[in-house]
Chains A and B, each alone.
Chain A
Amino acid sequence: MLSAPEVVELYFLETRCALLDIAATLDRLDRAAETSAPGDDPRVSQLYQALELLADRATSGDRVERLLQLFSDLD
């Protein structure tokens, strides 16, 4: 297994890239909503809920599982 500094070293740039992709998608959505009705697609709220979940630094290490739950139809 890698040490914590090794994890940062190996995955920082990939994660930075993933964050930029998310930012670009949300910007694209906002720009599109300026000219067309935004609608109320529940998937947009899911994305923001997911980001809230990730922003909590003092949380348990099952983020992926909780995100997958969030994106699941449970009933």
Chain B
Amino acid sequence: MQIIQPHYHGIARTAQDYERMAMSGVVAVAEPAFWAGFDRLYPQTFLDYFRQISEFEPTRAAAYNIRHFCWVAVNPKEAENPELSYEVLKHMPEFFEKPTVLGVGEIGFHKTTKNEEEIFEAQLELAMRHDQLILIHTPHLQDKVRGTRRTLEILAHMKVNPDRVWLDHIEEHTIRGPLEAGYWVGFTLYPITKCSPQRAVDMLERYPRERILVNSSADWGPSDPFLLQQCVLEFRRRKHSLQAAIDVFHNNPCRFLGQNPKFDIRPIRVASL
């Protein structure tokens, strides 16, 4: 089955991961800009990182027939440093011109501080001015409810078009607000700290599936890109059709990401089963 992995931090993973993903059906990944595990000191470091994910990483993925797209942003954690963030923001529009950059992400809250909020709003404003898609990280664990609530308030206040926004790392306690307001939501499958494949399928069964994106993130921390395939298997073993699986794990990413014409992979219909 063809799968799109819409949230994948390729620079933190090996070529073998790309190879195995290709062998298990992954045809495209999208790589948001995120925290490197330490706070960077120089704006230029971000710009080289954006070059890495928009120029070099597509060549690594291409070696395994995987299309690679990306997002640029100052991540929520480093947004705590506004001076650095504004320097980076000045240069982000240059990257919007690149052939595989889809939008601004991942932005949002980590600890829901004043500085984070200021930079979140500045990046939303930048994205809207340049007609970019928006990917929002919602906080981890005990900070998730508060951060998601504040995120929704800010999006509503700034009148951001919900069709163009994806809130990621959504779980059972944060799903209703974003879906009711018309945003796209993402389930991030993690071994321990976020959502499991089984719980993701539970939510796929409980809520309308048209605006749900499932991903397994995969980064430099404890994570596993193949939780996505495990989720496909869980979905199929609960008796959902192949077409329903393709709709969630391939076509939904096409429909959201394809709002940016650079993402040119088209939804698939199974001709006969």
- Seen from chain A, the residues whose Cβ lies within 8 Å of a Cβ on chain B are 13-14, 17, 20-21, 24-25, 27-28, 31
Contact = CB atoms under 8 A, between A and B. Distances in A.
A28 B193 contact: no
B198 interface: yes
A18 to B, nearest CB: 9
Which of B141, B198, B199, B202 has the most chain A CB atoms inside 10 A of its CB? B199
A13 B193 contact: yes
Given A20-B196, A21-B199, 19 more contacts: A13-B141, A13-B192, A13-B193, A14-B192, A17-B192, A17-B193, A17-B196, A20-B199, A21-B196, A21-B198, A24-B196, A24-B198, A24-B199, A24-B202, A25-B198, A27-B202, A28-B202, A31-B205, A31-B206
B188 to A, nearest CB: 14
A58 to B, nearest CB: 27
A24 B195 CA distance: 11
A24 B202 CA distance: 8
8 contacts: A13-B141, A14-B192, A17-B193, A20-B196, A20-B199, A21-B198, A27-B202, A31-B205
A31 B172 CA distance: 15
Nearest to A14: B192
Q: Is the interface of B mostly helix, strand, loop or mixed?
A: helix
Contacts of B193: 13, 17
Interface residues of B, number: 9
Contacts of B206: 31
Interface string B183-223: 00000000011001011001001100000000000000000
A48 B205 CA distance: 24
A31 B141 CA distance: 26
B177 to A, nearest CB: 20
A31 B238 CA distance: 13
Nearest to B198: A24
B103 to A, nearest CB: 31
A21 B193 CA distance: 12
Nearest to B191: A17
Contacts of B141: 13
Contacts of B202: 24, 27-28
A21 B198 CA distance: 8
Interface in B119-167: 141
A21 B201 CA distance: 12
A73 to B, nearest CB: 28
A27 B50 CA distance: 43
What are the 3 tightest A-B residue pairs by CB atom distance, in nearest-first order?
A24-B199, A17-B192, A13-B192
A35 to B, nearest CB: 11
B176 to A, nearest CB: 15
A15 to B, nearest CB: 10
A14 B222 CA distance: 12
A28 B203 CA distance: 10
A25 B198 CA distance: 9
Contacts of A31: 205-206
A31 B199 CA distance: 13
Contacts of A21: 196, 198-199
A25 B196 CA distance: 12
